[in-house]
């Protein structure tokens, strides 16, 4: 009864945001500093320091990012069944710290080993903190979307800081120092978590039955920790050989759907209809992230090779702009858009979630068409406008804000309580497939170049962005068209 009272007190907050959201906002902000800082450095580091060809760097990027998100699914399952969200978050933070410090010791030699620690750590950290955000709200609370939008803003504060600072430090000072920042900043995130965890009430505690003997609980937990470390050699093999990544991606998705189908046997018909609606969002998100995540792959190389180093007459590193423009726009507009959804909801004029998804795709497509038009503003050396490139990100940001924070919120709304961690993990598994597809698409447009000059690369990459833009807009139109059908599956969920 006391536990339920604590939870009720948290959920009965006054105003637009619960105080616990600010704690989770800060914890996630520093973790995302590390994640997006690494994401922005990966391809540049692999081309500059590991001397990989651009096609191979794109494939490696896709493989690494795919495993990062695939392990969020695994982390979600273990949080649901054994660790609980708090211990999962703690373990993930420790592994990410280990990954950053490992690479810092010898970036060229230990890069892939450190990345393996980071992959597993993110898997235990990322889906579970998002699920904790969802549990701050009652079912049907219209403020939930605004809360996830604010949380998403926190993600992007970290992404902005990490995307700018780590690229500058790595490119112009020391790659070792850049990777060491991962360990330092994750230490800050972990300290904040330890200082605020008691404010979360029962949220995130162990899911194991209270009647289970303590020594048996510890056995399950220790087995989870040891098993995750034992998987490092397998991850190392698959990340360094993208052929094995292909096999993994061909397998994990179908097996996950089979497992979900098995779990669905224990739910009501109404609950299963909501799960079916969630799967529609999951499948479309694969395409969205496959295009959007060119940001860490082909767009990083496009910035490196084809963008001028000035913005409005001031010097600005193009890779720093590529890594930070989207985050800056999200920080500014995510809270405002979240409040707009609340305002429209109070007047019964808020677009439903399916339409928001469709608008997200259309925004993404229009942004990539802007990237395509940069070819018409290039000089004879193949260098083009950084201002127009940033404007493309400005448009994409509104598409992202219509989809990603709403997607996080929807998984917590549509999933039955016993599988909320599983469904959040499935959402991130879809992101894993998106990352995998992003690597394949980036490799495709990089290898389609007729030569190695900057002009050749400009024409090859922008032609790819033209195709991506048209596909995204088409997907958005389809989603808006099927919105009434998906809404019926969602029932009372908005």
390, 371 contact by CB (below 8 A): no
Burial letters for 79-113: b for 16+ Cβ neighbours within 10 Å, e otherwise?
A: bbebbbbbbbbbbbbbbbbbbbbbbbeebeebbbb
pLDDT band at 405 (very low <50, low <70, confident <90, very high): low
Given a contact cutoff of 8 angstroms between Cβ atoms, the answer to whether 361 and 399 are in contact is yes
Q: Which residue has the tokens 């979600």?
A: 76
Distance CA 28, CA 127 (A): 11
Name the token pair of 104. Answer: 């810092």
Percent of the chain residues past pLDDT 90, beyond the cut: 31
pLDDT, greater one: 45 or 148:
45
CATH number for 478: 1.20.1250.20
Query: What integer is the mean pLDDT of 252-257?
Result: 84
Q: Is residue 379 part of a domain?
A: yes
Report strand pairing: 314-315 vs 310-311: antiparallel
- 182 within 8 A of 170, measured Cβ to Cβ: no
Mean pLDDT for 317-339 is 85
Give the residue-averaged pLDDT of 236-244: 84
Burial (CB < 10 A; 0-12, 13-18, 19+), residue 466, is middle
The rounded distance, in Å, linking the Cα atoms of 412 and 424 is: 7
Domain enclosing residue 50, as ranges: 16-490
Q: Is 16 a residue whose pLDDT tops 80?
A: no
Comparing 352 with 114, the larger pLDDT belongs to 114
The rounded Cα 285 to chain-centroid distance in angstroms is: 11
Cα end-to-end distance, the chain, whole Å = 30
* Residue 225, pLDDT above cutoff 80: yes
Residue 92 is assigned to a structural domain of this protein: yes
Is residue 412 assigned to a domain? Answer: yes
The string of DSSP letters for 403-431 reads HHHHHHHHHHHHS-GGGHHHHHHHHHHHH
The number of distinct structural domains making up the chain is 1
Decide if 405 is inside a domain: yes
Averaged confidence pLDDT in the chain: 86
Choose between 159 and 97: higher pLDDT. Answer: 97
pLDDT of residue 468 exceeding 50: yes
| pLDDT of amino acid 374 | 95
pLDDT digits (tens, 9 = 90+) for 418-453: 777 677 777 778 888 998 899 899 988 887 666 678
Q: Please give the full DSSP string across 170-182, using - where no structure is assigned.
A: HHHT-HHHHHHHH
Amino acid 396: pLDDT: 95
Interval 101-129 mean pLDDT: 89
Q: State the Cα–Cα distance between residues 43 and 50, nearest whole angstrom.
A: 10
Distances from the Cα of 161 to the Cαs of 30, 126, 169, 289, 325, in angstroms? Answer: 9, 18, 12, 22, 11
Asked if pLDDT for residue 338 goes beyond 50, the answer is: yes
Cα(236)–Cα(116) distance, rounded to whole angstroms?
Answer: 6
> For residue 149, is pLDDT > 90?
no
User: Has residue 481 been placed in a domain?
Assistant: yes
Grade residue 4 by pLDDT with cuts at 50, 70 and 90.
low
Residue-level pLDDT at 451: 66
Cα–Cα distance measured from residue 231 to residue 395, given in angstroms and rounded to the nearest whole number:
40
Percent of the chain with pLDDT over 70: 97
**What is the Cα Rg of the chain in Å?**
22
Q: What is the model's pLDDT at position 1? A: 46
In a domain, 9, yes or no: no
Q: Is residue 281 part of a domain?
A: yes
Residue 6 belongs to a domain: no
DSSP string, 77-114: HHIIIIIHHHHHHHHHHHHHHHHHHHHHH-HHHHHHHH
């Amino acid at each position: 009864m006391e536990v339920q009272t604590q939870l009720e007190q948290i959920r009965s907050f006054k105003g637009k945001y619960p105080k616990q959201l600010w704690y989770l906002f800060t914890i996630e902000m520093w973790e995302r500093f590390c994640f997006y800082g690494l994401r922005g450095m990966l391809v540049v580091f692999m081309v500059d320091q590991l001397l990989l060809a651009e096609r191979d760097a794109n494939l490696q990027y896709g493989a690494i990012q795919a495993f990062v998100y695939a392990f969020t699914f695994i982390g979600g399952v273990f949080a649901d069944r054994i660790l609980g969200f708090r211990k999962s978050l703690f373990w993930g933070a420790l592994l990410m710290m280990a990954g950053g410090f490992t690479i810092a010791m010898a970036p060229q030699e230990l890069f892939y080993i450190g990345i393996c620690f980071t992959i597993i750590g993110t898997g235990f950290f990322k889906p579970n903190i998002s699920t904790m955000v969802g549990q701050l709200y009652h079912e049907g609370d219209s403020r939930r979307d605004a809360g996830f939008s604010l949380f998403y803003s926190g993600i992007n504060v970290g992404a902005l800081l990490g995307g700018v600072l780590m690229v500058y430090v790595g490119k112009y000072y020391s790659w070792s120092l850049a990777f060491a920042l991962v360990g330092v900043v994750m230490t800050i995130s972990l300290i904040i978590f330890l200082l605020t965890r008691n404010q979360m009430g029962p949220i995130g505690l162990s899911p194991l039955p209270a009647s289970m003997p303590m020594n048996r609980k510890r056995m399950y937990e220790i087995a989870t920790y040891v098993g995750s470390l034992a998987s490092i050699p397998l991850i190392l093999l698959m990340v360094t050989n993208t052929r094995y990544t292909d096999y993994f991606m061909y397998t994990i998705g179908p097996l996950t759907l089979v497992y979900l189908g098995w779990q669905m046997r224990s739910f009501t018909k109404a609950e299963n209809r909501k799960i079916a609606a969630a799967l529609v969002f999951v499948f479309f998100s694969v395409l969205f992230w496959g295009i959007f995540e060119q940001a860490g792959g082909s767009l990083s190389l496009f910035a490196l090779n084809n963008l001028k180093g000035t913005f409005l007459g001031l010097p600005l590193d193009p890779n720093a702009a590529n890594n930070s423009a989207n985050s800056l726009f999200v920080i500014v507009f995510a809270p405002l858009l979240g409040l707009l959804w609340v305002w429209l909801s109070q007047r019964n004029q808020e677009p439903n979630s399916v339409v928001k998804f469709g608008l997200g795709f259309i925004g993404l497509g229009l942004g990539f068409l802007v990237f395509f038009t940069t070819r018409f503003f290039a000089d004879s050396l193949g260098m083009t406008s950084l201002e127009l490139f940033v404007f493309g990100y400005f448009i994409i940001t509104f598409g992202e804000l219509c989809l990603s924070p709403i997607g996080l919120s929807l998984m917590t709304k549509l999933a039955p309580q016993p599988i909320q961690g599983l469904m959040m993990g499935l959402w991130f598994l879809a992101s894993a497939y998106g990352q995998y597809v992003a690597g394949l698409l980036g490799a495709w447009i990089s290898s389609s170049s007729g030569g190695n000059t900057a002009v050749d690369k400009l024409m090859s990459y922008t032609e790819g962005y033209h195709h991506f833009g048209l596909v995204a807009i088409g997907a958005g139109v389809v989603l808006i068209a099927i919105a009434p059908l998906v809404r019926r599956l969602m029932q009372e969920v908005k």
